[in-house]
Amino acid sequence: MIIVHHLNNSRSQRILWMLEELGIPYEIKHYQRDKKTMLAPPELKKVHPLGKSPVITDGDITVAESGAIIEYLAYTYARDTMLPAPGTPEHRDYTYWMHFAEGSLMPPFVMKLVFDKVRSAPVPFFLKPVTKGIADKVMTSFVGPNISNNMSFIEGYLRGREWFAGSQLTGADFQMSFPLEAAVAGRATGNYPAITAWVKKVQARPAYQRALKAGGPYDYA
């Protein structure tokens, strides 16, 4: 039996969605973030040394990192349905978007989150203009342009396409779902109709709805 070590408001929600799409029996072990630090609780370190989510256990096998988990599930349980055939254009797209999600798209979103916190952090009044100025400069000169560039690239790619790696759902779609949900929920500014339509299509799927119910409250932003 697969056990999903599920942290609230985390990347592990996309793992639940994949398992629901596959129809694989699984159990959820719930963990809650610390309300002050928003970090995972120390209990997760008993499952994996880094103490982060998502992590799954499948018998005596433990797999961490979203991409690795998605690949494991696809190769183990859905080789014929969730993986494009090797050597095809679809497989090249699959590989690209699997890496792009965390390698290119998520870092500027994380940086935006960090500098938004810098802006609002309690500091002596005479330092507030300094911290805010630094945060604003980084956002306008680096983080913002990177987010806009990534989003425009994805928007152009999705126009006229059903999924990220061909005409059927693949692991690339699960991997891309978390950052794009966050983007549509408010981390990216701009008009991206193709991305918004893709996110709405994902969220309307029955398997996604079942995963959301199983995982509990999920704050996309």
Q: At 8, is the pLDDT very low, low, confident or very high (cuts 50, 70, 90)?
A: confident
pLDDT tens-digit readout, 56-87: 999 999 999 999 999 999 999 998 889 999 99
Q: At 6, is the pLDDT very low, low, confident or very high (cuts 50, 70, 90)?
A: confident
Most confident range (mean pLDDT) of 40-49, 78-87, 119-128, 209-218 is 78-87
* Closest C-alpha among 31, 34, 33, 41 to residue 6: 31
Q: State the pLDDT at residue 218.
A: 73
Domains of the chain in sequence order? 2-82+211-215 (3.40.30.10), 89-205 (1.20.1050.10)
Distance CA 139, CA 145 (A): 8
State yes or no: cis peptide before 54, omega within 30 of 0: yes
209 vs 36, more confident: 209
Q: Which residues lie below 8 Å from residue 86, measured CB to CB, with a gap of 6+?
A: none
Rounded average pLDDT over 24-39: 84
Distance CA 186, CA 172 (A): 22
132 vs 40, more confident: 40
- The reported pTM is 0.89
Distance CA 220, CA 188 (A): 12
Distance CA 75, CA 17 (A): 17
